[in-house]
């Protein structure tokens, strides 16, 4: 994902590559960014030092892990840098901490930076409000075999959109597994199904199942470019915003 973002930034008409961050002990530490990407040398280095990395940037695009993302958010807050965060798997407490850091800087977070997925979230909220609990909601997602969090952050955000449309609490209304329950489905609940296999980048479907009909809304990512391009768009948008915590839906003015 990091290499995809860097490649698209390098080609962007507005954004410019300033630095790259890698894990401590990574073999790429100290390599020129241009060399890493297969271009001519750019005089910009890859580093494993977060302080050096953030010092050289106006905006940071981060798709890493909750622990590292919070460390980067803290440093962005201290240095008043823009942070675009596409990391998933945050606990509620970690999300709260992330939003607190946004008091001193612009932080834009989304479980999915794709324009299409965020459009899907907007549609799901509206459809859920219109169809009400006469329709059962099932959220089905599939990702590559190496993805460890389930349901995906995008699936949970789609569930949150559906719950918001119905004005209900997602946690108390979610069904994460039907296996072994041996009871009929309760009206008004939101079910999640997770599939893992192969190299699937990300497929998400929201099914509204009623009597004699179904309404299905689906998004399929064909390339990680859709996440990277959305993140770059968010970083540029964030340069004109006041400090605060924003979602990708704010960037797209939904």
The answer to whether residue 242 is catalytic is: no
For the purposes of burial, counting CB atoms within 10 Å of the CB of 142, is it exposed (0-12), middle (13-18) or buried (19 or more)? buried
Name the active-site residue from 3, 55, 79, 147: 147
Asked if residue 99 lies in contact with residue 148, where contact means CB atoms within 8 angstroms, the answer is no
The question of whether 143 is a catalytic residue gets the answer yes
CA distance 157 to 204: 11
Distant-in-sequence, close-in-space partners of 121: CB < 8 Å, separation ≥ 6: 157, 158, 161, 249
Q: Select which of 45, 75, 81, 143 is catalytic.
A: 143
- What is the spatial distance between Cα 185 and Cα 175, in angstroms, rounded to a whole number? 9
Whole-number Å distance between alpha carbons of 29 and 142: 33
- Residues annotated as part of the active site: 143, 147
């Amino acid at each position: 994902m990091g290499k995809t973002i860097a490649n698209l930034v390098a080609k962007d008409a507005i954004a410019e590559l300033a630095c790259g961050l890698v894990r401590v002990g990574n073999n790429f530490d100290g390599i020129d960014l241009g060399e890493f990407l297969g271009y001519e040398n750019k005089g910009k280095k890859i580093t494993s030092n977060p302080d050096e990395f953030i010092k050289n940037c106006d905006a940071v695009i981060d798709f890493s892990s909750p622990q590292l993302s919070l460390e980067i958010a803290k440093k962005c807050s201290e240095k008043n840098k823009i942070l675009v965060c596409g990391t998933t798997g945050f606990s509620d407490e970690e999300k709260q901490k992330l939003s607190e850091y946004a008091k001193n800087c612009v932080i834009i977070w989304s479980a999915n930076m794709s324009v299409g997925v965020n459009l899907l979230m907007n549609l799901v909220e509206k459809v859920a409000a219109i169809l009400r609990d006469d329709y059962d909601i099932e959220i089905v997602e599939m990702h590559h075999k190496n993805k460890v969090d389930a349901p995906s952050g995008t699936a949970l955000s789609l569930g949150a959109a559906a719950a918001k449309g119905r004005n209900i609490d997602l946690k108390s209304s979610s069904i994460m597994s039907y296996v072994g329950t041996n009871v009929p489905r309760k009206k008004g609940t939101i079910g999640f199904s997770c599939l893992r296999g192969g190299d699937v980048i990300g497929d998400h479907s929201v099914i509204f199942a009623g009597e004699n009909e179904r309404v299905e809304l689906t998004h399929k990512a064909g390339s990680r470019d859709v996440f990277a391009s959305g993140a770059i768009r968010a970083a540029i948008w964030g340069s004109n915003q006041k400090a605060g915590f924003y979602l990708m839906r704010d960037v797209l003015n939904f």
